Structure 1
Amino acid sequence: MSNAWLHFLMEHGATLATDNPAIASFGDIASFGKQVADTQIAEGFVAPLTDLGLIEATGEEAAGFLHNQLTNDVEHLGPGTARLAGYCSPKGRLMATFLTWKQGESIFLQLPHHLQPAIQRRLQMFILRSKVKLADASDRFVALGLGGAKAGAALRGHFPNLPGAPFLAASSEAGTLIRLADAGGQPRYQWIAPVETAQAAWPALCAALTPAGTSTWRLTEIRAGMPVITQGTQEQFVPQMINFELVGGVNFKKGCYPGQEIVARSQYLGKLKRRMQLATIASESEDVPVGGELFSSEDPGQPCGMVVNAERNASGETECLVEIKLAALDAGTIHLGAPDGPALRFGELPYPLTDPA
């Protein structure tokens, strides 16, 4: 992450969190005060996504190399689209999830900043003699998350033709704008811009929209049902366990990639027994850890699931995406950390859960 961008944000009222050792060298932009209210999220907000890193892949064989490493089709990734993709271990367990897009001759992979160094090194190991170069682009580009009813109008000065549907992209001299899955019926965009462009645009964006922290953006990701693998959940899930194929992160018609056989077997052999669900935990007295185990009151002897992502909302409750045995939802109650821990209240995902064809 660009130090110039962080200093700029602090000069404009941001505060740096001190309780996240995974990115302690840079810091994470905390909310500007408390978590913004749902009414402000729906109306329009802008957040600096300082918790994200960016890998740039270049070279004439970059698309083919990434196509053979990731769960989605990269060879046919066009300049006007973006895709989710996963990077699996040989056992089919997700080590990282990416947002991927193409700009010019470069292919970009966006992932949590604290995972980037290790994931980039691992990808580098398999390049061998391929004509591919991987570079850390996090110091050259910054990401802004925008959402709500007023977000489109605030962006039109930089992108006259906004992407009209999720996972479409637009490019201009201002960078790349990607529309992502809606949350709460409102559009969400990610603007990836050069540092100087983001600095120039920030005051006007804050005048038109509510300035918020990265936690606000992550809260909308949860509400959109979009999982993100972080340090606490690496190698815990086959993609289908967190609905990754349902949100467009897996292509079952492409060629092989690490773990492909296990991912395909999970898709086509039998009914899936574990899925990701949307839940809320009312306890305000304790943090909800990513990777935290869940327990059923009907079978308290062993965990039945795990927290995938979690963020507090303006009411002090924690909204979560949780991976869980579907059978555990049929009886009893589900609790965090222990059979007598805080209870989970389940909600509806914004997309249907479907069994493999």
Structure 2
Amino acid sequence: MSSLPCLPASPHQYPLSRLSALSLSGPDHLSYLQGQVTCDVTALPVGAQTLGGHCDPKGKLWASFRLLRQPDRLLLLLEQDLLTRQLPELKKYAVFSKLTIAPLTDLPLWGLAGAGSDAWVAQRWGLEDTGLVADGMACRLAADRWLLVGIPTQTDLPSAPEADWWGLEILAGLPHLSAVHQGEYIPQMINLQALGGISFHKGCYTGQEIVARAKYRGANNRALFILQGHSDQVIAPGDVLELALEDGHWKRTGLVLDSWQRGHDVLLSAVLPQDLASDARLRLKQDEQSQLTLRLLPYSLG
């Protein structure tokens, strides 16, 4: 029987060393970001969060992120290894606006998950959903799963492996791009439209025409999927996936976005053709003995 990451029986805290934070502040920080990203920044209330994407002019993603709105700034939370290419692009036109864009290297970021986590947050801060707290924000991702921002880690909570947090993110169908994926995918290919990360009613932003065409003209045939199976090899973002054909051959079909491994058991997110059969058999190109099958997404692609 295979194992999968699961919620602990009590609240646990998870380190999030892969995650980085960018701060946008100043008189023009809302309007500037509004013209750069897929989500509706100005419609986001203070103390709220949303997913989003930052695209190049061809609609290909520099980054996917979680956006938090605080009283005097915006925070973008994204994978650290995206920053080398993404941050200069985000700053490219900032010279014409009154704002400051800066990484926050000392901002506490950690995950909270496990049975009773909702009650734990409610007892400390009186929150039932995402909201502001004295030192930052508590962001509810799902039942008994939270992202804590600007809040020191807690001495009364046991720690859990960081890898399991990212495994829970995979099971939730949440996209996490790495540097190897930059410039590869439009936002719909990682399901941002199904996760509330694209506004089709806001004004123009970089790449908006391509993103809109994918929706209204059906110009997209790929999506993020979850795969489960076995492999003896260490898996990395960008590894090639192959699909079994009826004639016994294998065909390249997509790339690994993110992975979780425990022993031989693996869990992956990957961008694959939307018309992939539910009983499709896949493997990793570098491990011909690996076996992977699709899991149902926890949401509709719409």
Same fold (TM over 0.5): yes
Q: How far does residue 348 in structure 1 lie from its aligned partner after superposition?
A: 0.9
Amino acid aligned to 1:144: W
Q: How far does residue 106 in structure 1 lie from its aligned partner after superposition?
A: 0.7
- Residue 242 (1) aligns with residue 190 (2): yes
* Contact 1:304–1:328 (Cα < 8 Å) also in 2: no
Residues 330 and 318 from structure 1, CA distance in 2 versus in 1: closer, same or farther, beyond 3 angstroms?
closer
Q: How far does residue 246 in structure 1 lie from its aligned partner after superposition?
A: 0.3
Q: How far does residue 128 in structure 1 lie from its aligned partner after superposition?
A: 2.2
1:205-264 Cα distance to aligned partner (Å, 9 max, x none): 22xxxx113211111100111011111211111111111110111111111112111111
1:133-170 Cα distance to aligned partner (Å, 9 max, x none): 1112222x11110112221233345312231xxxxx21
Summarize the alignment of residues 207-356 of structure 1 with structure 2, pairs less than 5 Å apart: 211-270=159-218, 272-283=220-231, 285-298=232-245, 300=249, 302-313=251-262, 316-329=264-277, 333-337=281-285, 340-354=288-302
Residues 100 and 318 from structure 1, CA distance in 2 versus in 1: closer, same or farther, beyond 3 angstroms?
same
Amino acid aligned to 2:114: G
Amino acid aligned to 1:90: P
Q: How far does residue 85 in structure 1 lie from its aligned partner after superposition?
A: 0.9
Per residue, is there more strand in 1 or in 2? 2
Amino acid aligned to 1:188: R
Q: Whole-Å Cα distance in 2 between the matches of residues 301 and 312 of structure 1?
A: 24
Residues 61 and 160 from structure 1, CA distance in 2 versus in 1: closer, same or farther, beyond 3 angstroms?
same
* Contact 2:64–2:177 (Cα < 8 Å) also in 1: yes
Residues 312 and 138 from structure 1, CA distance in 2 versus in 1: closer, same or farther, beyond 3 angstroms?
same
Q: Whole-Å Cα distance in 1 between the matches of residues 122 and 287 of structure 2?
A: 51
1:68-117 Cα distance to aligned partner (Å, 9 max, x none): 00011111221131011101111111110111111121111111122224
Summarize the alignment of residues 181-196 of structure 1 with structure 2, pairs less than 5 Å apart: 182=142, 186-194=143-151
Aligned partner of 2:11 in structure 1 is 44
Q: How far does residue 343 in structure 1 lie from its aligned partner after superposition?
A: 2.1
Q: Whole-Å Cα distance in 2 between the matches of residues 279 and 125 of structure 1?
A: 37
Residues 260 and 319 from structure 1, CA distance in 2 versus in 1: closer, same or farther, beyond 3 angstroms?
same
Consecutive unaligned residues in structure 2, runs of 5 or more: none
Q: How far does residue 266 in structure 1 lie from its aligned partner after superposition?
A: 0.9
Residues 248 and 52 from structure 1, CA distance in 2 versus in 1: closer, same or farther, beyond 3 angstroms?
same
Residues 54 and 37 from structure 1, CA distance in 2 versus in 1: closer, same or farther, beyond 3 angstroms?
same
Q: How far does residue 43 in structure 1 lie from its aligned partner after superposition?
A: 4.0
Candidates 46, 56, 60, aligned match of 1:93 = 60
Q: How far does residue 330 in structure 1 lie from its aligned partner after superposition?
A: 6.3
Figure out how many residues of one structure are paired with residues of the other and give that number: 298
* Contact 1:222–1:310 (Cα < 8 Å) also in 2: yes
* Contact 2:281–2:291 (Cα < 8 Å) also in 1: yes
Aligned partner of 2:82 in structure 1 is 115
Q: Whole-Å Cα distance in 1 between the matches of residues 17 and 46 of structure 2?
A: 24
Aligned partner of 1:205 in structure 2 is 157
Candidates 128, 151, 160, aligned match of 1:162 = 128
Candidates 136, 140, 145, aligned match of 1:175 = 136
- Residue 80 (1) aligns with residue 39 (2): no
Q: TM-score if structure 2 supplies the norm length? A: 0.90
Identity of aligned residues (%): 27
Aligned partner of 1:5 in structure 2 is none
Amino acid aligned to 2:109: A
* Contact 1:274–1:323 (Cα < 8 Å) also in 2: yes
Q: Whole-Å Cα distance in 2 between the matches of residues 248 and 41 of structure 1?
A: 28
